[in-house]
Structures are given as C-alpha cells and as structure tokens.
Amino acid sequence: MELAKTTWTYVEEYLKRSQTLIIPIGSTEQHGPTALIGTDYITATKIAQEVGENLGLLVAPSLNYGMANHHLGFPGSASLNPSTYIKVHLELLEGWISQGFKNFVYINGHGGNIMPLNCAISELKRSDNESKVSIFNWWHLPSVREYEEKHFGDENGHHATCGEVSLTMFTEPEAFKQIESKSFKIEPKSHHWPLSPKEMKIYHPDGRMLSNPGLSTAKHGENLLELSVNEISEKIKSF
C-alpha cells in the first residue's frame, strides 16, 4: 500500500492497527554507460512496494536523492551533502513519529546513504527511545549475495553491479530498449575512499566500479527481486 495513494483518514485508521512505515531510499546518479541513472531508487522502491503488499504495510514515497557527491562529475547525477541528508531524515522521522508511527523500515538501494542515515538515526535515538528503525541494504542480503556470487562472481563489482542492473532490466524493460548491451573488461584499481568527483572520473572513467553489467539479464533481475522481497518480508515478520 502506497502512502501517496491513500488519504489522511485512511492513514489514521491504519495507525490503529499498525505503526510501521516502510521507506525506500536511493539516489539519482550515473551507473556507467549501460545502466539507468535512477537505478538505486528504482530498485529500492520496487522491493519496498512488494514487501508492503506482502505484509499489508504502508510504503512511503521514495527519497530519490542520496549522498552521492563522488558521482557529480558525471552529467545527470545529483547529490545531497551528508549534513543535509542527515537533517532531511531527522525531520521526516520526527514528523511521522509525532503522528503515531513508531516502527520504520528503510529499504536502501545506495551505499553512500548508509553512513549519513545511521548518523541521523543515532541523533534521533538520543532524544527518542521508543521508535525502532531497521535498515535493509538489499544488495547486502545473504540470499542476494549468494545468488550474485554464483552467477556473476568477481564481475559483479561494487557499482553498476550485475545484480542491480539486472533488477532494473526486469522492472524497466522499455528503458533498456534504448541502451546497447555490451561486456566490459574488469581492471582492478587500488585507491583511497571517499573520492571527490574529479578523483572518481580518474579512477573509474566510465562510472563502473569493477563490474561487468554485460552479464545482466531481466531474468536474473526477476530472481533477485523475489529473493529480496522474501528475505526482507520474513525478517520484518520476525521483529
């Protein structure tokens, strides 16, 4: 159930039986020359919506912008600074808590969000000890990692991965009709982290990070979506 497609009166009734809200988060950033700029929020949103349907839980609109400063050297990418990102989540959570929500489940599609989101939750918990916040970085799920290791091995990479590209190929088939599929050579590179936008272009000039998205298929994406939804749903039910 999507929060944006309900009314305030529906939410008022919902809160009488459940105080849980699922929040998908991602980023608007380049994913190499053969993957979608919206990959991170597209994947998180689709997983969140299906988990919500499975469990009868409300799903908030996705926060489509994340902490992605290192991608700003690539046209189309956008980013919030870490301090801004922390404040955005604090204010959103405080508002929902004031209305009666107590349990928040983040489904995250972008690695750069992890650190500032944890900082926001730490600030929240300093003054609020009743709310519970869980974060699922879907690509870290054990079932997803096992599948990707089996089918992609070392070519999955760290950004524009075979797994995330596969999932968007399944959910956004029309978009990929305009994108030429190609294989890439993996060239391991050692560097410090985090990177500036300029450094990112130096170390990873086409935007990928040790990935060969040429291995991606819509069928892999369908399988990864099912694995993610099932694992997250089971973990939420066990809370």
Q: Each residue of 47-103: pLDDT tens digit?
A: 999 999 999 999 999 999 999 999 999 999 999 999 999 999 999 999 999 999 999
pLDDT score recorded for residue 10:
98
> In this model, does residue 237 exceed pLDDT 90?
yes
Question: What's the token pair of residue 197?
Answer: 């936008």
- How large is the average pLDDT for residues 23-52? 98
Strand partners, 58: 21
pTM of the model: 0.97
Q: Which 8-state DSSP code applies to residue 234?
A: H
pLDDT score recorded for residue 168:
98
- How large is the average pLDDT for residues 200-224? 98
The answer to whether the bond into 33 is cis (omega within 30° of 0) is: no
First-to-final CA distance of the chain: 20
Buried b (16+ CB within 10 A) or exposed e, 202-215: eebeebbbbbbbeb
Average pLDDT, the chain: 97
> In this model, does residue 188 exceed pLDDT 90?
no
Backbone angles phi, psi at 104, to 5 degrees: -120, 130
> In this model, does residue 187 exceed pLDDT 90?
no
Secondary structure class of 20 (helix, strand, coil): strand
C-alpha distances out from residue 83 to 8, 19, 128, Å: 31, 28, 20
Backbone Cα Rg of the chain: 18
Q: How confident is the model at residue 110 (pLDDT cuts 50, 70, 90)?
A: very high
CB 39 within 8 A of CB 208: no
pLDDT score recorded for residue 50:
98
pLDDT score recorded for residue 239:
81
Strands 132-137 and 103-108: parallel
Residues 6+ apart with CB under 8 A from 214: 34, 181, 182, 183, 184
pLDDT score recorded for residue 127:
85
Ramachandran region of residue 184, left (φ > 0), alpha (ψ -120 to 50) or beta? beta
Q: What does the alpha-carbon distance between residue 142 and residue 227 come to, in Å, rounded to a whole number?
A: 10
CB 46 within 8 A of CB 225: yes
Backbone angles phi, psi at 172, to 5 degrees: -125, 60
Domains of the chain by start residue, with CATH = 3-237 (3.40.50.10310)
Q: Which of 222, 220, 201, 63 is nearest to 150 (CA)?
A: 220
pLDDT score recorded for residue 49:
98
Q: Provide the percentage of residues in the chain whose pLDDT is more than 90.
A: 95
CB 222 within 8 A of CB 96: no
Q: What does the alpha-carbon distance between residue 76 and residue 24 come to, in Å, rounded to a whole number?
A: 21
> In this model, does residue 183 exceed pLDDT 90?
yes
Question: What's the token pair of residue 133?
Answer: 């916040």
